[in-house]
Amino acid sequence: MLIGEVARRSGVSTRMLRHYDTLGLVRPTGRTTGGYRAYSDADIERLLHVESLRSLGLSLRDVGRALDDPDFAPDTLMEKLIQDTRDRMAADARLLDRLQQIQVTGAGDWPAVLDVVGLLRAVHSEHPAHRQRAALRAGDAGLSAEALTDALLAESDENVAGALRWALAQTPGALDQLAARVTDPDATVRRRAATALSAIDDARATAVLEALLTDPDPEVRRTVALTLGRRGVETAVDVLVELVAAGDRDVEAAEILAAQDDDGRIVARLVDRLGADPDPAVRLRLVQALAEITGDAASTALTGLGDDDDETVARTARAIGSLRSR
């Protein structure tokens, strides 16, 4: 392939190709039938390596040293270029999202647009303190629910996440944005969305949370059940009972169940699920849960557990029963 065609196809000027030849970086080693020097396939491959290394910021001298190094690995270089390209594409995608978010805000003048740009940069800063300050300003600055939701669902710092949840709870459209993300395949995203929804106390948010009681992730189910239990939602009871059985926030779950029990239904469900469990630790948690519940049903259940085969369970049940009878 002659120099003109190489320049046309590669975008490297003929002047630069001749410069590479002079420096010994890329020399055409082939010959045409007419005796003209031409670039072979190996020369073209070396040109690719030169341009790739230059794109990484190396000087021509350093490029020559790298290519002449016997340990130079073109495959490693290609992997680096592929990753760099992916990073640029991801950065471009983030930039597009931010531009769309700015458009959504409907800012009416350039100073307002600049404020939003600055706030978006701060929300996505690498420094948690900057992100937290940006979250606290988000409501007044008019940052969209979409922008705040994206920031929250990517946030790992709990202090920043708390500020973002606070800002979201005051932002129109937050519920719709969060509801759209509770089916995300990433469990971490669903956990963050569920926690944010728990801060919105209205009927629509409660309905979305109820649908998450069967989520495959136990942390999502726990967050949702505790929130719905505090709101007196009946459908959360079974999950709360399971939390007691598993010893997962069991004291908190038991307190919530105790606040709901007024006709013995909760006691019956606790006893049915935990009372015959072969693990004494589970039955002991049942005793402790019953201690939180007033009424005859709980007292009767404690009396029965006073004869438990495990001495610790039986002794604890009798002690609690004795205190209740005073």
Interval 138-174: pLDDT, tens: 555 556 778 778 878 887 778 778 877 877 887 788 8
Residue with tokens 């800012």: 107
Q: Which pLDDT does position 138 carry in this prediction?
A: 52
- Alpha-carbon distance values, 179 to 125, 204, 207 (Å): 26, 10, 10
Residues 6+ apart with CB under 8 A from 303: 317, 321
Copy the structure tokens of residue 16.
């630069």
Closest alpha carbon to 157 in 127, 121, 197: 127
**What SS3 class is residue 258?**
helix
Copy the structure tokens of residue 156.
């790992």
Task: Tell me: pLDDT of 309 over 60.
Answer: yes
Hey, how many other C-beta atoms are within 10 angstroms of the C-beta on 173?
14
- Identify the weakest region by mean pLDDT among 7-11, 126-130, 143-147: 126-130
Task: Tell me: pLDDT of 100 over 90.
Answer: no
Copy the structure tokens of residue 91.
């950065």
Pick the residue with more confidence: 34 or 302?
302
This prediction's pTM: 0.58
Residues 6+ apart with CB under 8 A from 8: none
Q: Which pLDDT does position 285 carry in this prediction?
A: 93
CA dihedral (280, 214, 211, 151) positive or negative: positive
**What SS3 class is residue 216?**
coil
- Alpha-carbon distance values, 128 to 77, 123, 142, 233 (Å): 34, 9, 21, 36
Pick the residue with more confidence: 254 or 164?
254
Task: Tell me: pLDDT of 123 over 70.
Answer: no
Given a contact cutoff of 8 angstroms between Cβ atoms, the answer to whether 52 and 26 are in contact is no
Residues 6+ apart with CB under 8 A from 175: 197, 200, 202, 204, 205, 208
Task: Tell me: pLDDT of 93 over 90.
Answer: no
Mean model confidence pLDDT for the chain: 82
- Identify the weakest region by mean pLDDT among 26-35, 50-59, 289-298: 50-59
Interval 49-74: pLDDT, tens: 888 888 776 778 878 888 887 776 76
What mean pLDDT is predicted for residues 7-32? 89
